[in-house]
A and B are shown apart, each in its own frame.
Chain A
Amino acid sequence: MTAPPTAGRASRSDTGGTSATGSEPRRARRADLAGPALVLPFALLFVLFLLWPLAAGLWTSFTDRSLVGTAPSFVGLDNWAEMAADPMVWRSLWTTLLFTLLTTPPLVAVALLMAVLTQRAVRVGWFLRFSFFSPFLLPVAVVSLIWVWIYQPGFGMLNGALTGLGLPEVNWLGDEGTVLLSIAITTVWWTVGFNYLLYLAALQGIPSQVYEAASLDGAGAWQRFRRITLPLLNRTTAIVVLLQMVASLKLFDQAYLMTNGSGGPDYAARPIIGYIFDSGFTNLRIGYSSAISYLFFAVIIAVSALQFWLFTRKENTA
């Protein structure tokens, strides 16, 4: 009873066991019932809270359904046509893409830097893991409260530091040009810990003999990093980049909270999900909001498909 878990973990690459039972005729009929019965609870929730709303959303996108009463009527492709011509749709989609471009490189590079430093550092591992990862555990509302206070004009920490250095103040969240950047900085601080842990796990999987051999051959620290660490982390980096892109494309919570739901000056920080939210819950136009949801879905599917292709390829080669 104590040993088996190791067996399960050690043989991860073992592909056997997928077609386990059913070899015995006596049990065949019972197995037929047991399988579906065990899947049923999850399948019910899957249908009720995923397939149904997914289908309802698609149907709704062809109607003028409103959040307040009044029977909806079928309007064909009106919502979709309106969406294609709505500059706010494209503006918010651009905001989402810009945010993804702003956050993905630092979230990958800083995570890697942190992981490499942690791997090399002596005796402070616990402290480093705590400092780098604990922000990830904060609820988004806590993150927003803290950072709105840090960005506060006048007596906030960041502007206090700037004026202390003799530099001019920046109206971080109040300026159209800096509001998205400010939210990006907050996001890097908040979520880098997740990528950091993925890199840390990958680094621990590299056998130390590889480095020792390279050291004996006279490779310096930088060379070892460039010629050994980075290439061996290729797959991890690919996974981290794709997970991060999908995560960044889903920007909403912190952008909403840090701008008090306003989308920032001139909507400079309203992502596509923010526009979906505003169309549905502020303007009460569920039909239109559903159409935009599907546009967003298409963007995510494109990136996810790439990600899924990568994962299945990994499984086949493993």
Chain B
Amino acid sequence: MSAPTEAAPAAAPRTAAPVPQAPRRRRRISPTGAAATVSAVVLALLWLLPLVWAVLTSLKPEAETTAVPIRWLPVEPTVEAYRLVIARGDIQQWLVNSTVISVLVTALTLVMCAMAAYAFSRTSFRGRNALLLLFIAGIMVPPQVLIVPLFDQMRLLGMVDTYWGVALPQVVAPVMIFILKRFFDAIPRDYLEAAHLDGAGHLRVLTSVVLPMSGPILAAVGIFTFVQAWNNFLWPFVATTDPALMTVPVGLGTVQGAYGIQYAQQMAAAVLGAAPLIAVFMVFQRQIVRGVTDAGLK
């Protein structure tokens, strides 16, 4: 549904008023449009500079990285740094861990928050509003406040250094319930009434009527949750001590020292750690942009 709605405003004037369109279009592009384009591209290149510098460093032999004065391009480009980092094997393990944990967090968030959102939106039970208020209040609790007692509790539950221990606390994001609830609220009642008259229970209505109609918002919540889980640092950092269970941010953060002053290797590891989400972004830019704005603006 994204493509047609976005194309509509751009295409409409072109077909509606073809004759006066031509001169106005040309005037709009030339002065401010061109200036904006040039300054935007300059700013964009500046913004990419740190990433370019990291990639260029990763392609240098170690001896070249510390040359003074600095040299931008590698004289003898090499992938030796990547070979060494991959040979260590850590980063592959962290990528696997990050994937497992982020998928776990995203799947659980979607299932549990969709169920709760449906219950708040379409069922009535005693204490519903009080519970809703409690969850609203929960949004205001910053996860950082809970870190110390949560770690204490995880030791009690024996969940330190487990995937579940890292993942479960991240599922408690009540704000996602409200994003979904608002969308469910807006679904015309007729659709659900019809299903209920056909004898469908609430679970049936949720899975076969509400969820199929909620693709875009589920994608938005899912994408936002996944990116947050993938990049979360503090809790996974506290909850894991075993390097074999670390996520990418924690692993790269704690073994910074292990690469020592091998800057090419440090940057190779950084590039490998950054690559998955950047690659996903290049393919799904439109969906991710929408997901972040939808979930971000609530």
- In the complex, chain B residues 47-77 whose Cβ is within 8 Å of any chain A Cβ: 47-51, 53-54, 57, 65-70
The residue of chain A having its C-beta at the shortest distance from the C-beta of B116 within the complex is A42
Please tell me which one of the listed residues A43, A130, A253 contacts residue B116 in the complex, with CB atoms under 8 A apart: A43
**Stretch of A18-26, A87-95, A174-182 lying at the B interface:** A18-26
Q: How many residues of B contact A (CB 8 A)?
A: 122
- CB of B212 within 8 A of chain A? yes
- CB of B266 within 8 A of chain A? yes
Please judge, given known A-B contacts A5-B213, A32-B125, A130-B282, whether A149 and B120 are in contact too, CB under 8 Å. no
- In the complex, chain B residues 37-55 whose Cβ is within 8 Å of any chain A Cβ: 37, 39-41, 43-45, 47-51, 53-54
- CB of A171 within 8 A of chain B? no
- CB of A46 within 8 A of chain B? yes
The residue of chain A having its C-beta at the shortest distance from the C-beta of B53 within the complex is A157
Neighbouring B residues of A200 by C-beta, 8 Å: 289, 293
| Bound complex: CA A70 to CA B5 (Å) | 64
Neighbouring A residues of B230 by C-beta, 8 Å: 139
CB distance from B84 to the nearest CB of A (A): 15
Please judge, given known A-B contacts A36-B119, A53-B153, A118-B40, whether A20 and B171 are in contact too, CB under 8 Å. no
Asked whether, in the complex, the Cβ of B149 is within 8 Å of the Cβ of A308, the reply is no
Please tell me which one of the listed residues B34, B187, B192, B253 contacts residue A144 in the complex, with CB atoms under 8 A apart: B253
Asked whether, in the complex, the Cβ of A154 is within 8 Å of the Cβ of B249, the reply is no
Please tell me which one of the listed residues A56, A145, A296 contacts residue B256 in the complex, with CB atoms under 8 A apart: A145
Please tell me which one of the listed residues B65, B115, B152, B248 contacts residue A38 in the complex, with CB atoms under 8 A apart: B115
Q: From DSSP, what is the main secondary structure of chain B's interface residues?
A: helix
| Chain B 121-141 interface mask (CB, 8 Å, partner A; 1/0) | 111111010010011101111
Please judge, given known A-B contacts A21-B123, A127-B44, A221-B32, whether A6 and B1 are in contact too, CB under 8 Å. yes
- CB of A172 within 8 A of chain B? no
Neighbouring A residues of B250 by C-beta, 8 Å: 141
Please judge, given known A-B contacts A21-B123, A117-B43, A155-B68, whether A290 and B138 are in contact too, CB under 8 Å. no
Please tell me which one of the listed residues B44, B214, B292 contacts residue A197 in the complex, with CB atoms under 8 A apart: B292
Neighbouring A residues of B217 by C-beta, 8 Å: 8
- In the complex, chain B residues 243-298 whose Cβ is within 8 Å of any chain A Cβ: 248-253, 256-257, 263, 266-267, 269-270, 273-274, 277-278, 281-282, 285, 289, 292-293, 296-298
CB distance from A172 to the nearest CB of B (A): 13
Neighbouring B residues of A62 by C-beta, 8 Å: none
| Chain B 170-212 interface mask (CB, 8 Å, partner A; 1/0) | 0110100100001111111101100010000111001000001
Asked whether, in the complex, the Cβ of A154 is within 8 Å of the Cβ of B66, the reply is yes
Please tell me which one of the listed residues A43, A54, A144 contacts residue B141 in the complex, with CB atoms under 8 A apart: A54
- CB of A167 within 8 A of chain B? no
CB distance from A315 to the nearest CB of B (A): 9
- In the complex, chain A residues 55-78 whose Cβ is within 8 Å of any chain B Cβ: 56-57, 60, 67
Neighbouring B residues of A132 by C-beta, 8 Å: 43-44, 47
Please judge, given known A-B contacts A4-B191, A53-B153, whether A146 and B50 are in contact too, CB under 8 Å. yes
- CB of A313 within 8 A of chain B? no
The residue of chain A having its C-beta at the shortest distance from the C-beta of B216 within the complex is A5
Asked whether, in the complex, the Cβ of A294 is within 8 Å of the Cβ of B145, the reply is yes
Q: How many residues of A contact B (CB 8 A)?
A: 122
- CB of B144 within 8 A of chain A? yes
| Bound complex: CA A303 to CA B114 (Å) | 28
| Chain A 9-35 interface mask (CB, 8 Å, partner B; 1/0) | 101101111111110100100111111
Asked whether, in the complex, the Cβ of B120 is within 8 Å of the Cβ of A39, the reply is yes
CB distance from A82 to the nearest CB of B (A): 16
In this complex, the member of A134, A163, A246 whose beta carbon has the largest number of chain B beta carbons within 10 angstroms is A134
Asked whether, in the complex, the Cβ of B253 is within 8 Å of the Cβ of A257, the reply is yes
- CB of B215 within 8 A of chain A? yes
Neighbouring B residues of A127 by C-beta, 8 Å: 41, 44
Asked whether, in the complex, the Cβ of B263 is within 8 Å of the Cβ of A142, the reply is no
| Chain A 218-261 interface mask (CB, 8 Å, partner B; 1/0) | 00010000000000000000010001001000101100010010
| Bound complex: CA A218 to CA B50 (Å) | 41
Neighbouring B residues of A194 by C-beta, 8 Å: 292, 296
Asked whether, in the complex, the Cβ of B118 is within 8 Å of the Cβ of A38, the reply is yes
Asked whether, in the complex, the Cβ of B146 is within 8 Å of the Cβ of A53, the reply is yes
Q: Chain B interface (Cβ within 8 Å of chain A)?
A: 1, 9, 29, 31-34, 36-37, 39-41, 43-45, 47-51, 53-54, 57, 65-70, 111-113, 115-116, 118-126, 128, 131, 134-136, 138-142, 144-153, 168-169, 171-172, 174, 177, 182-189, 191-192, 196, 201-203, 206, 212-217, 227, 230-231, 233-234, 238, 248-253, 256-257, 263, 266-267, 269-270, 273-274, 277-278, 281-282, 285, 289, 292-293, 296-298
A-B contact pairs, 17 of them (CB 8 A): A14-B186, A17-B186, A20-B189, A21-B196, A22-B124, A50-B141, A114-B43, A126-B285, A134-B281, A141-B249, A141-B256, A155-B67, A157-B53, A276-B148, A280-B147, A290-B148, A311-B298
Q: Chain A interface (Cβ within 8 Å of chain B)?
A: 1, 4-9, 11-12, 14-22, 24, 27, 30-39, 41-43, 45-46, 48-54, 56-57, 60, 67, 113-114, 116-118, 120-124, 126-135, 137-142, 144-150, 152, 154-157, 160-161, 163-164, 189, 194, 197-198, 200-201, 208, 221, 239, 243, 246, 250, 252-253, 257, 260, 273, 276-277, 280-281, 286, 289-290, 293-294, 296-297, 300-301, 304-305, 308, 311
With A48-B168, A189-B47 already in contact, 7 other A-B pairs whose C-beta atoms are closer than 8 Å: A34-B201, A121-B33, A124-B40, A131-B48, A137-B278, A194-B296, A253-B233
The 8 closest A-B pairs by CB, nearest first: A160-B70, A35-B123, A120-B36, A131-B44, A141-B252, A35-B125, A117-B40, A141-B253
